[in-house]
A and B are shown apart, each in its own frame.
Chain A
């Protein structure tokens, strides 16, 4: 069996605060039509969003599994209160589910159980990977700023399956502060869920009008849209086992189909790159992190 036949496609957790209706429609379509192997549900950005989604998870999980998808439930990236910690403990208590940890405390709760490590955890080298594997982790989606060289080392180490974030605005930072609240001049404690106004995040500009970053509640993201389509053939050779598409307000079925074509060697990455350039908010593609350069850059492969 060749590497290409084993590489999988993952739909990452939805990072934005969509309305229930929009989210339900999106995942219904994913369940029925999207050619992805794994779908990750769960709230990773802000615990205040969770209560609106949680009741829908059992139904969504059921529907996605019936559509032939493996379902993973992800967890919070920054845990600040004992209430949030208790919520996490209750969430991961479900022994029938496979979880993604984005904080060392959640990884520790999952000790001895197979689970995956999300891209918000600092996994930069084989030493750390080996420690996490000893705790039960068997898959890792590496941090977005990881270089292609480092990805190659980790994928080649054979410690656990390596997944790479290949499409979407990149989560770059998380804070206790909520920037959507600050922009809308509402207190975080009574935020009125203003982050829900921007389906792909709120782009911010420099003083001279140049687009700079994207704000998503407590999370700060890239303005550019990461697209590693052209690097997939190289990553397949490195032994990368799966590729993560991050949900956006775009046709996910179409994007997934194109990525599948690239993995299978039947589609030209350039076609997808041309299509996604400017697709979200006018933002360009980027792949700089892969080349150990500025993450916002797009560098044409040799």
Chain B
């Protein structure tokens, strides 16, 4: 796994840990329905793949979001981080990256090259989800805000302010996080490199053996 991101949301997440998934579920459900209503194209583009499920691990929040898509419709379930429900793909990324992917302000490929986003499992499904989201012109803040009904104007202002402040705080915290974790990372890296060298030597010997075996007699 990649270095855990130190972000203001992670710090906030320590406080949020006390809130059980059941309480978050209605909010998530409302958001998913909102997304479905406003951008039916997203789930329609995923339909050719057949039913697919995604476990979305927002690395700086204490919950796991299980998104299942079938026949042009999507549903979200909020689970505890420790939940091990099988999913076709598991995606790990900090909230800011996921927001950026949703509204198209961050390029998915570039994100992966720098490894701010990681995933396991069905690559085709992940790529399709990314393409479908990118093709939908989601304005996430407006979409979230509208999910709160009559308060939407105020909610939007709050959300925008929170994201702006969050970007600033994140830059400071990232530096602190790096300096705390780096020495440990370096040590394990060195060990892993030694193991890999041994693995490579084994592979070379196996190959030599294979070539000897197939030598014409």
A and B touch in the complex (CB under 8 A): yes
Measured between C-beta atoms, what is the minimum distance from A107 to chain B in Å?
38
Question: Of residues 170 to 217 in B, which have CB atoms within 8 Å of A's CB atoms?
Answer: 203-204, 206-207, 210-211, 213-214, 216
Cα-based distance from A282 to B213 in the complex (angstroms) = 8
Chain B contacts for A278, CB-based, 8 A: 214
Chain B contacts for A282, CB-based, 8 A: 210-211, 213-214
B204 x A209 contact (CB < 8 A): yes
Question: Of residues 171 to 228 in A, which have CB atoms within 8 Å of B's CB atoms?
Answer: 205, 208-209
Cα-based distance from A281 to B216 in the complex (angstroms) = 9
B214 x A208 contact (CB < 8 A): no
Chain B contacts for A279, CB-based, 8 A: 216
Nearest neighbor of A279 in chain B, beta-carbon distance: B216
A82-121 Cβ-contact flags toward B at 8 Å (1 or 0):
0000000000000000000000000000000000000000
Measured between C-beta atoms, what is the minimum distance from A289 to chain B in Å?
22
B211 x A208 contact (CB < 8 A): no
The tally of residues in B whose CB lies under 8 Å from a CB in A reads 9
Measured between C-beta atoms, what is the minimum distance from A274 to chain B in Å?
14
Question: Of residues 55 to 71 in B, which have CB atoms within 8 Å of A's CB atoms?
Answer: none
Cα-based distance from A209 to B200 in the complex (angstroms) = 8
Measured between C-beta atoms, what is the minimum distance from B137 to chain A in Å?
37
Cα-based distance from A54 to B9 in the complex (angstroms) = 72
Measured between C-beta atoms, what is the minimum distance from B180 to chain A in Å?
32
Chain B contacts for A281, CB-based, 8 A: 214
Cα-based distance from A278 to B211 in the complex (angstroms) = 10
Chain A contacts for B204, CB-based, 8 A: 209
Chain A contacts for B213, CB-based, 8 A: 282
Measured between C-beta atoms, what is the minimum distance from B198 to chain A in Å?
13
Cα-based distance from A256 to B213 in the complex (angstroms) = 26
Chain A contacts for B211, CB-based, 8 A: 282
Chain A contacts for B210, CB-based, 8 A: 282
Cα-based distance from A278 to B213 in the complex (angstroms) = 10
B207 x A205 contact (CB < 8 A): yes
Cα-based distance from A209 to B203 in the complex (angstroms) = 6
Chain B contacts for A205, CB-based, 8 A: 207
Nearest neighbor of B196 in chain A, beta-carbon distance: A207
A209 x B214 contact (CB < 8 A): no
Measured between C-beta atoms, what is the minimum distance from A169 to chain B in Å?
15
B115-153 Cβ-contact flags toward A at 8 Å (1 or 0):
000000000000000000000000000000000000000
Cα-based distance from A279 to B207 in the complex (angstroms) = 17
Measured between C-beta atoms, what is the minimum distance from B148 to chain A in Å?
51
Chain B contacts for A209, CB-based, 8 A: 203-204, 206-207
* A residues adjacent to B (C-beta < 8 A): 205, 208-209, 278-279, 281-282
6 of the cross-chain contacts (CB-CB < 8 Å) are A205-B207, A208-B203, A209-B204, A209-B206, A209-B207, A282-B210
* B residues adjacent to A (C-beta < 8 A): 203-204, 206-207, 210-211, 213-214, 216
8 closest cross-chain pairs (CB), A and B: A282-B214, A209-B203, A209-B207, A278-B214, A208-B203, A209-B206, A282-B210, A282-B211
